Chains A and B, each alone.
Chain A
Amino acid sequence: MKFLSMMTAGLVTVAAPVSAATDIQFWHAMGGRLGEVVEEIAAKYNASQDTYNLVPTYKGGYEDTMTAGIAAFRAKQQPNIIQIFDAGAATIINAKGATIPVAELMSDFNAEDYIEGVRNFYADSDGNMIGMPFNSSTPLLYYNKDILAKAGIEGPPATWEEFEAMAPAIKEAGYQALAQSHSPWIFSENFHSRHNLQLATGNNGYDSTDVEILYNNDHMKMHWTKVKEWLDADYYGFYGRGWGDNQDAFVQQKTAMWLGSSGSFGGLASSAEFEFGAAELPYWKSITDEPYGTFIGGAALFAMAGKPDEENAGVADFMEFLTSAEMQYFWHKETGYVPITNAAYELAKSDGYYESTPDAEVGITQLTQRAGEWTKGYRLGFYVQIREAMYKQYDNIFSGSSSVEDAFVAMEEESNALLDRFDASMN
C-alpha cells in the first residue's frame, strides 16, 4: 500500500514539469534546517503562481556555491539566481556583465524600503543595489544567565571595559568569560563598523579596486593586545578556527559568553540546556562614546546575466515574492536571520513577536543603530584569501609566535599584495 502511494506520488511529480511553467534555477548554500526552509519558500512560491517554477539546488558551503557558479558561468550553464556570501561580494560585483543589478531587474524597486544596515552592503558606490540581501545576520553576544548569576553579575557587558571588569569574577566562579567564532568577521570587519573606523582606502573599496587595507591601525592593535591578554589570563577561550568548535564551548558551559551570529539563535535554543540571552556586540568606550551599527553578514542573491528575458522576469517576480513582508517575517521567524525590509520589521513588531522573544530583535536594533561614514560595508577583492591571511596572523598572535605589531604588518603586506593582484585582474 505504501509502495503504491509512493508510486502515485512519483507519477504526480514526474507529470508536473509538463505544464508550461518556466523553470528558474536557484543555487544556494543553505544546508540542514536552513535548506529545508529554502525548500518551503520555493514550494510556497510555486504554489502562489503558475507562470514560473523555482528549482532550488543546494551547492554546498558558501565557497563551494560561488565556485560552482563561476564554473557554470564560464561554461555558459549558469543558474538564474545564485547566493553569494559577503566575502565574495567584490568578486561578483566587480565582474561587470556577470549579473543584472536587482535594482534594474525589479520594476518598482525602492532602496528606502530596506532597513538601514542592509541597504548598502551589496550596492554599488552610488547606492544601487546589485544583489538582494537574503540571509542577513550580524554578530551578537550570547550569555549564559546561570553562569553570570553564579558570578554575581547583573547582566551582559555593553562595552569591552565592562567586560574586562567582570571577567575575573567569572573566572573565580570556574568559567572562561568569552569565546568567539569568527575573528575576521567579528573582531575585524565589524570592529571597524562598530567604532566607525575606515577599513580600506577608496571608500572602503566601494569606489575602486586600486585600494589598500587599513587593518594595521592602533585601535585594532590595542584590541588584539587585549584579546591576547585575556587569552593568557584564561578569560578568553580559543577552541580552533571552526565556527562550531567555539559555539560548542558555550553550549557545554565552558564559557559564560560567546560571540556568534544573530542567525545562531535557533540552533542555540535547541542545543543549550540552560537559559541564555542575546545582547549587542560590545564596543570600546575608549574609542567611541556611543556605538555605531554593524555590517550585515550572511549572503545575497544575484541574478546572473546571459539568460532569456522571460526567465529574468521570473527572477524579478520571485525576488518580489521573497521580499514581501509575509515571506520576510516567515524567514526571520524560522531561521533567526533579520528581516531586510522595514515593512517586514513592522509586521513582526505588530504581530507581537518581540514581546514573546525579545532576543530576536537585538540583531535588528543593532543593524539600525546610528550610521556613520564607515558603517555601510566594504568591498575588497580576493577577500577570502585576505581572511585566510587574517586567520593566520591571529593564530600567530595567540600562540605568541609573533607580536601583535609584527602580525599586523605581515597581514597588511599579504592583504595589499592580494588587493594589487585583484586590481590587475580587473583591468
Chain B
Amino acid sequence: MKRVQFEHSPIPYLFVAPQIIIIVVFFLWPAAQAVYQSFLLEDAFGLSSQFVWFRNYSDTIFSAAWLQAFWFTIIFSTLVTALSLGLALLLAVKANEVIQGASTYKTLLMWAYAIAPPVAGLMGNLMFNPLIGDLYGFMNAVGFDFDHKLDPYDAGFVVVLISVWKQVSVNFIFFLSGLQGIPKSVNEAALMDCKSPTRRFWTITFPLLAPTTFFLMVINITYAFFETFGIIDTTTQGAPGGATTTLVFKVFQDGFRGADIGGSSAQSVVLMLLVLALTVIQFRFIEKKVHY
C-alpha cells in the first residue's frame, strides 16, 4: 500500500518571499526595535544605556502634554474621518448622476488626490497667512474673530479643513467606483418599488456600498492618525499651546527634534497598540454589519 504524499514544492514560498521580506524588514524589525528602545534610557549618541523598565512609558504617557495630544488626536481623527467620508459620498452620488460633462467633473474632483499632505499643508498655510492669506482675510471679513495663531479652535479648524480637503478626493474615487459597481437592474427594480430617492439610497445603495465604506473608514482613520503629520508640520506645528499636536507629531517632536529616543519609542509603541486596538474593534464589530 502506497501512502499518498503531495509533493512539497518550494516555489510558492519563493513567490511570497518578497512580500514577507518587506514586512519583516520594514515593519517587524523596526517595530521590535521600537519595543526594545522603549525600555532603555540612553543619551542620544547611544554611549551610555540602561534598562529602566517602564520609566519611558510613565514619563511620557502621564504627562499633561501627551494627554492633550491624545484627546486632540481622538477628536481630530473622528472629525476628519466623518467629514471626508460624508462629503465624498455626497459628491460621488451627485457625480454619478451627472450626464453632461461627467468626466470633466470627475477629473476635477479627483485632482487633489495627486497632492502630497505637506504640499496641501503649505498651500493651506499660505491661504491662512495673517499678512497675505485670502482665507484668513475672508474669515475676518465675514465677521469671525478668526485667529488660528492663538485660538485653539481656529487652529483645529484649519488643520481639519486641509486634512479633509486632501482626503475627500481619495474617498470620492472609491465611492464612485463602488457606485458604478452596483448593477443597474437592482436600481431599476428599486425604482419600481419606491419613489423616494432618499429612501432608495439608504435602503438599497448604501448597504451595497458598505464594503467600500468600511474599507475607506479603516483607511481614513489611519490617514488621520498618521499621514496628517505632514499637514500639521507645515501649518500649525502643534501650536497654539500644543492644541493641534497629534500623537504622531509628538513622537516626531520628541524623537527626531529632541533626540529623546527612549521616550519617543515608548510613545510609538503605545500608538501602535492604540491603532491595533482600533483596527480589531473595526473588524470585530463594524465589519459584522457589512455584507459582501
Which A residues contact B (CB, under 8 angstroms)? 63-64, 66-67, 70, 73-74, 88, 91-92, 94-98, 238-241, 245, 248-249, 252, 254, 382, 384-385, 388-389, 391-393, 395-396, 398-399, 401, 410, 414, 417, 421, 424-427
Interface residues of B in 132-156 (CB under 8 A from A): 149-152
Which B residues contact A (CB, under 8 angstroms)? 41-48, 50, 52, 55, 59, 63-65, 129-131, 149-152, 237, 239-242, 253-254, 256-260, 262-263
Which residue of the partner chain B has the closest CB to A78? B45
Q: Which listed residue, A239, A382, A398, touches B258 by the CB 8 Å rule?
A: A382
User: Is B48 in contact with A249, judged by CB distance below 8 angstroms?
Assistant: no
User: Is A70 in contact with B47, judged by CB distance below 8 angstroms?
Assistant: no
Which residue of the partner chain A has the closest CB to B128? A240
Specify which chain A residues have a CB less than 8 angstroms from the CB of B257 in the assembled complex.
63, 67, 384-385, 388
User: Is B151 in contact with A94, judged by CB distance below 8 angstroms?
Assistant: no
The answer for the CA separation of A399 and B151 in the assembled complex, in Å, is 7
Decide: A392 near B131, CB < 8 A? Known: A91-B44, A239-B149, A421-B263: no
User: Is B258 in contact with A245, judged by CB distance below 8 angstroms?
Assistant: no
Specify which chain A residues have a CB less than 8 angstroms from the CB of B262 in the assembled complex.
425
Decide: A248 near B131, CB < 8 A? Known: A91-B259, A382-B258, A421-B260: yes
Specify which chain B residues have a CB less than 8 angstroms from the CB of A389 in the assembled complex.
65
What is the CB-to-nearest-CB distance from B273 to chain A, in angstroms, rounded to a whole number? 22
The answer for the CA separation of A421 and B59 in the assembled complex, in Å, is 8
Q: Which of A73, A401, A425 has the most CB of B within 10 A?
A: A425
User: Is B43 in contact with A94, judged by CB distance below 8 angstroms?
Assistant: yes
What is the CB-to-nearest-CB distance from A426 to chain B, in angstroms, rounded to a whole number? 6
Specify which chain B residues have a CB less than 8 angstroms from the CB of A91 in the assembled complex.
43-44, 259
Interface of A is mostly: helix
Specify which chain A residues have a CB less than 8 angstroms from the CB of B242 in the assembled complex.
392, 395
Specify which chain B residues have a CB less than 8 angstroms from the CB of A97 in the assembled complex.
45, 47
The answer for the CA separation of A382 and B45 in the assembled complex, in Å, is 13
The answer for the CA separation of A393 and B65 in the assembled complex, in Å, is 12
Q: Knowing that A95-B44, A240-B130 are A-B contacts, what are 14 other residue pairs whose CB atoms are under 8 Å apart, sorted by A's residue number?
A: A64-B256, A88-B259, A92-B45, A239-B130, A245-B130, A249-B131, A254-B131, A395-B150, A396-B240, A398-B240, A399-B150, A414-B64, A421-B59, A425-B41
10 sampled A-B residue pairs with Cβ under 8 A: A67-B256, A74-B46, A95-B45, A97-B45, A98-B47, A382-B258, A382-B260, A384-B259, A396-B241, A401-B152
What is the CB-to-nearest-CB distance from A90 to chain B, in angstroms, rounded to a whole number? 10
The answer for the CA separation of A73 and B237 in the assembled complex, in Å, is 28
What is the CB-to-nearest-CB distance from B191 to chain A, in angstroms, rounded to a whole number? 54
User: Is B65 in contact with A414, judged by CB distance below 8 angstroms?
Assistant: yes
Q: Which listed residue, A63, A74, A240, A245, touches B45 by the CB 8 Å rule?
A: A74
What is the CB-to-nearest-CB distance from A420 to chain B, in angstroms, rounded to a whole number? 9
What is the CB-to-nearest-CB distance from B25 to chain A, in angstroms, rounded to a whole number? 16
The answer for the CA separation of A398 and B148 in the assembled complex, in Å, is 12
Which residue of the partner chain A has the closest CB to B49? A425
User: Is A425 in contact with B150, judged by CB distance below 8 angstroms?
Assistant: no
Q: Which listed residue, B45, B55, B131, B258, touches A98 by the CB 8 Å rule?
A: B45
User: Is A241 in contact with B43, judged by CB distance below 8 angstroms?
Assistant: no
What is the CB-to-nearest-CB distance from B158 to chain A, in angstroms, rounded to a whole number? 12
Decide: A239 near B131, CB < 8 A? Known: A70-B45, A399-B240, A426-B48: yes
